Structure 1
Amino acid sequence: MTIDVISFDLDGTLVDTAAEIALAVNRTLENFGLAARPAAEIEQLIGAGAHALMRRLLAGIDAAAMLDEGKVLACFDQHYADTAGTLAEPYTGCAEMLRSLLGDGVRLACVTNKEQRHAVRVLEVNGLSGYFELLIGGDTLPCKKPDASVLRHVLTEFGSTPGQAAHVGDSETDVAAARNAGVAAWAVPWGYNAGRPVAEAAPDRLFQSMSEITRLVRTLRAAPALLP
């Protein structure tokens, strides 16, 4: 078999969004009279969606215990609607890799735990939305990564099988999502993963550049026995 379908995580995999997320978080904290948090601390919470990030951050701030969580999350949504896409930068070689994969006949999906409306903005602003046939955000389906149903939904939509697919991400969550769905678990080391090396999650492949992904897909098409 060959790899005909690849799903990509967004934050920390295709695009560096840490700065704009941190900006929205700290604007929210300021609105509620709380001190700003270091960007590095916020970056380590990226991966499960913006609301999960805010909940985890607030849980570690004693002064936040009396706040109305719903109001805090609504405030964050307003701020991130303003900052989404404004400071995000695609990682080196991202567009070229996606273009090459499409040219080789690979079908692409973006599967993120970021809320869909924010994911749409980030992809559009960075000129990446046109590469994906399918976008799944953290609020698109009843479950989010690492639940097996998420990547299985991709397979169903594309009429593919686990043996023909791979998922690329920067975190333990992404590796687990791939494992749970039975697809190849591929990873990149330049993302977030709560500050831990993604290699600790034991992905099937760990790439050091975007171009390595393209080369592997082409190699597998020539010699598919090399999977995963």
Structure 2
Amino acid sequence: MNDLAYDIVSFDLDGTLVDTADEIAEAANRALEAHGIGRRPPQEITLLIGAGTRELMMRLLAHVMLEDTTLAHVVSIDGVLASFERHYAATAGTTARPYPGTLEALRRLQDAGLRLACVTNKEGRHARRVLEATGLAPWFELLVAGDTLPEKKPHPSVLQHVAKALGSACDRLAHVGDSAIDVASARNAGAAAWAVPYGYNAGRPVSEAGPQRLFDDLAAMAEHVLSTRRSGALA
């Protein structure tokens, strides 16, 4: 579709709008320590970001138990998950920072009449805390978190819900993310799949997922949208 036809841009949160890796890793390590498990390198935990915090901890525990099989008999998975929830409630938004150019990109898109949504697999209470702490919350008309709907990204119902809630259709929506999950989400819903190359994506280049457009950053994405609209208006 011609980029002039889009009237909604939805954004992933972690690794796209905001760098949250440090605070997530700290909460995860505090949860491990609370159950007598040694801290893990932050880089290892960062590679697990993307599917939601519960899934992150499940994957992290799986890694830990592969190295020490005795832990499976003495560690309560539910207990570690509860510890993580408690610790992340304390750390969410404390060290998170918007990536350079993010605020200006959102302002330019909103000023141009684009409808903006944040779509994340992070649980809603944590997502709201991060958005509020980083000053991003006012820019979004809609937040769809990992516990908002029965399904989460990459299920097509997620972006379909965004389009319907904002009075449009998926073929008029562009979704921007940093991971293969985001690219699949857009494709599954019939939306445009845009990506930025920084972020997490399990340590793999997001270009391997085949986004329709890959921007250096959100400022470049906003400039593309606005310059395309200007060119169309003059045509």
TM, length-normalised to structure 1: 0.95
Amino acid at match of 1:34: I
Gaps of 5+ in 2: none
1:132 matched to 2:135: no
CA distance, structure 2, for counterparts of residue 164 and residue 215 of structure 1:
18
CA distance, structure 2, for counterparts of residue 90 and residue 60 of structure 1:
29
Q: Secondary structure at the match of 2:147?
A: coil
CA distance, structure 2, for counterparts of residue 55 and residue 26 of structure 1:
13
Q: CA deviation at 1:174?
A: 0.1
Q: Indicate the larger mover: 62-71 or 15-24.
A: 62-71
Among 105, 108, 118, the alignment partner of 2:116 is 108
Q: CA deviation at 1:223?
A: 5.2
Q: Give the corresponding residue for 1:50.
A: 53
CA distance, structure 2, for counterparts of residue 209 and residue 68 of structure 1:
41
4+ long deviations beyond 2 Å: 219-224
Q: Report if the CA contact (8 A) 1:189-1:208 is conserved.
A: yes
How many residues align? The count is: 224
Q: Residue by residue, what CA displacement relative to the aligned partner does 1:116-159 show, whole Å, maximum 9, x if unpaired?
A: 10000000000000000000110110000000000000011011
Q: CA deviation at 1:163?
A: 2.3
Amino acid at match of 1:161: A
Q: Secondary structure at the match of 2:5?
A: coil
Q: Residue by residue, what CA displacement relative to the aligned partner does 1:52-82 show, whole Å, maximum 9, x if unpaired?
A: 0000010112243132221111110000000
Q: Residue by residue, what CA displacement relative to the aligned partner does 1:5-44 show, whole Å, maximum 9, x if unpaired?
A: 0100000000000000000000000000001000000000
Q: Give the corresponding residue for 1:154.
A: 162
Q: Supply the RMSD in Å over aligned alpha carbons.
A: 1.1
CA distance, structure 2, for counterparts of residue 214 and residue 40 of structure 1:
30
CA distance, structure 1, for counterparts of residue 217 and residue 166 of structure 2:
26
CA distance, structure 2, for counterparts of residue 222 and residue 96 of structure 1:
18
Q: Give the corresponding residue for 2:192.
A: 184
Q: Give the corresponding residue for 1:36.
A: 39
Among 14, 18, 26, the alignment partner of 1:11 is 14
Q: Secondary structure at the match of 1:92?
A: coil
**Percent identity among equivalent residues?**
58
Q: Secondary structure at the match of 2:153?
A: coil
Q: Report if the CA contact (8 A) 2:159-2:170 is conserved.
A: no
Q: Report if the CA contact (8 A) 2:180-2:206 is conserved.
A: yes
CA distance, structure 2, for counterparts of residue 221 and residue 149 of structure 1:
28
CA distance, structure 1, for counterparts of residue 229 and residue 169 of structure 2:
16
Gaps of 5+ in 1: none
CA distance, structure 2, for counterparts of residue 26 and residue 4 of structure 1:
41
Q: Give the corresponding residue for 1:199.
A: 207
Among 16, 27, 39, the alignment partner of 1:24 is 27
1:221 matched to 2:224: no
Q: CA deviation at 1:2?
A: 1.9
Q: Give the corresponding residue for 2:99.
A: 91
Q: Secondary structure at the match of 1:110?
A: strand
Q: Give the corresponding residue for 2:79.
A: 71
CA distance, structure 1, for counterparts of residue 59 and residue 212 of structure 2:
29
